């Protein structure tokens, strides 16, 4: 399981300013390095480059990159707005973390600063004749990088913020979270037992918000250091308020249950305003379901997108039912965390779609087929599949759907071996 500092570093690396800052520093440093290594350039090579060649190229780069950066930023804002209004605001975070977009903007800004620093250094006479030759060579490499980035950026603009592309990102993020949870079923801890021992002491939350990350390694270190058994009740994705228990603690013979220790234990939970995708697979499924629900609204009326999302949900849940890779060993024998519930995953994904698509028979058909597919993948899910199939048919009768459509759905349920097929 990822430690808190690694998770925070990964979150910071996904911010737009991070790559832009790195590329800017690299661009400025590259322009200055030409002055340091000018002595390695033979004087005979200096005559091959005109005196004004570098100045003109750097001037063109400086003016054009500033315009391209401004245009790209406005395009990004439009893409974020399109993703928020056309898909769901919860997916905007993934669009903002798009590496292609961040690399393009960072390249443009870094190239602008490279040319700006180069022009300033040339005006100050830092390079000399030999340094100009080296700067000219580096400038040609920067031009090649700009051209390559522009070509990729133009191709990427055709997809940025589009509904299908955004859904792809949500699905990929959900699959990554589910695969990680399949490898770490209890986040590296032991499975929480059904019955907890008596005499436990609760560790309350210090803040109000969603749990974004749980540092099991830190909890394991504290459990060993203070002779404690920790029974965690709040997983990433849970909303907690101040004073709500995050975990229950049992002290050993030399255990310490002081307020200072509780502060350290509570610090292993990262609590913030919003849910995130990395360690919260339920959030990814909920966002997929939200996309389908929005598509089924009267304002949009796009059942095709909802049907597409249902297929993606089956693919995502199938990954959870048939986990790939080896389950990682537990980090601690003294930390207990509840595993992810398949019932909760079904509820997060299927319940909203069944509710909002109840009046559209094509959505109901796809929903029943999805439940049947998951039932075939995992026969133990038969009661759950029957439950949601029966629930959807009951909702269809409640909204007074056309009788022929209800009979068609009921016949399909019987054919697929779902709840209606048994009675």
The whole-model pTM stands at: 0.85
- Please choose, from the candidates 57, 18, 7, the residue with its C-alpha nearest in 3D space to the C-alpha of residue 216: 7
- Can you tell me the distance from the alpha carbon of 413 to that of 371, in angstroms, rounded to the nearest whole number? 10
- CB count, 10 Å around CB of 114? 29
User: Read out DSSP for 201-267?
Assistant: EEEE-SS-EEEEEE-HHHHHHHHHHHTEEEEE---TT-EE-TT-EEEEEEE-TT----HHHHHHHHH
For residue 304, with 0-12 CB atoms within 10 Å meaning exposed, 13-18 middle and 19 or more buried, which class applies?
Answer: exposed
The number of C-alpha atoms within 13 Å of 109 and in the hemisphere containing its C-beta is 20
At 223, give phi and psi (nearest 5°). -65, -40
Total Cβ atoms within 10 A of residue 223: 22
HEC sequence for 325-342 = CCCCCCCCCCEEECCCCH
Is the four-CA dihedral 81, 85, 88, 90 of positive or negative sign? Answer: positive
pLDDT value of position 422: 40
Residue owning tokens 């520093």: 25
Residue 282: HSE in the Cβ half-sphere, 13 Å Cα cutoff: 20
* The pLDDT of residue 125: 76
Strands (E), 128-200: 190-191
Four-residue CA torsion sign, 354, 355, 358, 359: negative
Residue with tokens 């803040």: 207
Q: Which residue has the tokens 């499975």?
A: 191
With H, G, I as helix, E, B as strand and everything else as coil, classify residue 190.
Answer: strand
Q: Are 275 and 212 within 8 A, CB to CB?
A: yes
Distance CA 182, CA 189 (A): 13
| Strand boundaries in 252-318, DSSP class E | 269-272
User: Which phi and psi angles does 304 have, rounded to 5°?
Assistant: -60, -40
CB atoms within 10 A of CB 6: 13
Q: Please report the pLDDT score of residue 406 as a whole number.
A: 84
Each of the 423 residues of the chain gets a pLDDT tens digit; together they read 677 778 788 888 888 788 888 888 888 887 777 767 666 666 655 555 555 677 888 889 989 998 998 888 888 888 888 888 878 888 888 888 888 888 898 999 999 988 888 888 888 777 766 677 778 888 888 999 999 999 998 888 888 878 888 999 999 999 999 998 988 889 989 999 988 888 899 999 999 999 999 999 999 999 998 889 999 999 999 999 999 999 999 987 777 788 889 999 999 999 999 999 989 999 999 999 999 999 998 888 889 999 999 999 999 999 888 766 678 888 889 999 999 999 999 999 999 999 998 888 999 999 999 999 999 988 888 889 999 998 888 888 887 677 888 888 888 888 888 754 443
- 164's CB contacts (< 8 A; 6+ apart) are 308
Q: How far apart are CA 339 and CA 347, in angstroms?
A: 16
pLDDT at position 66 is 87
pLDDT at res. 420: 44
pLDDT tens sequence across 134-177: 788 888 889 999 999 999 988 888 888 788 889 999 999 999 99
pLDDT score for 37: 67
Closest CA to 237 of 289, 270, 282, 285: 282
Question: Residue 337 pairs with which residues in a beta bridge?
Answer: 191
Residue among 233, 240, 265, 268 nearest 251 (CA): 265
């Amino acid at each position: 399981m990822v430690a808190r500092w690694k998770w925070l570093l990964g979150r910071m690396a996904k911010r737009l300013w991070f790559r832009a800052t790195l590329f800017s520093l690299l661009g400025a440093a590259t322009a200055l390095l030409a002055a340091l290594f000018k002595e390695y350039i033979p004087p005979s090579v200096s005559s091959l480059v005109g005196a004004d060649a570098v100045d003109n190229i750097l001037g063109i780069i400086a003016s054009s990159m500033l315009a391209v950066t401004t245009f790209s930023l406005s395009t990004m804002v439009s893409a974020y707005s399109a993703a928020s209004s056309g898909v769901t605001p919860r997916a905007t975070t993934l669009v903002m973390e798009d590496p292609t977009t961040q690399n393009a903007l960072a390249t443009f800004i870094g190239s602008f600063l490279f040319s700006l620093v180069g022009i300033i250094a040339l005006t100050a006479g830092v390079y000399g004749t030999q340094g100009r030759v080296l700067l000219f060579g580096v400038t040609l490499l920067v031009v090649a990088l700009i051209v390559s980035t522009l070509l990729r950026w133009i191709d990427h603009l055709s997809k940025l913020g589009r509904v299908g592309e955004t859904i792809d990102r949500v699905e990929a993020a959900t699959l990554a979270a589910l695969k990680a949870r399949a490898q770490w079923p209890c986040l590296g801890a032991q499975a929480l037992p059904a019955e907890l021992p008596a005499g436990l002491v609760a560790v309350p939350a210090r803040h109000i918000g969603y749990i974004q990350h749980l540092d099991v390694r830190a909890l394991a270190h504290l459990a060993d250091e203070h002779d404690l058994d920790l029974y965690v009740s709040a997983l990433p994705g849970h909303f907690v308020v101040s004073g709500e228990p995050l975990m229950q603690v049992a002290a050993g013979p030399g255990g310490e249950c002081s307020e200072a220790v509780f502060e350290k234990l509570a610090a292993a939970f990262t609590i913030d305003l919003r849910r995130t995708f990395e360690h919260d697979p339920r959030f990814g499924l909920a966002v997929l379901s939200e996309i389908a629900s929005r598509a089924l609204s009267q304002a949009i009326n796009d059942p095709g997108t909802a049907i597409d999302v249902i297929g993606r949900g089956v693919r995502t849940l199938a990954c959870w039912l048939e986990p790939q890779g080896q389950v990682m060993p537990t980090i601690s024998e003294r930390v207990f965390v509840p595993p992810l519930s398949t019932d909760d995953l079904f509820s997060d994904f299927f319940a909203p779609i069944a509710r909002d698509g109840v009046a559209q028979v094509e959505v109901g058909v796809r929903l029943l087929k999805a439940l049947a597919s998951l039932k075939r993948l995992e026969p133990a899910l038969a009661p759950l599949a029957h439950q949601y199939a029966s629930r959807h048919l009951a909702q269809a009768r409640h909204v007074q759907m056309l009788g022929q459509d209800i009979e068609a759905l009921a016949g399909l349920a019987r054919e697929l071996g779902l709840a209606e097929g048994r009675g």
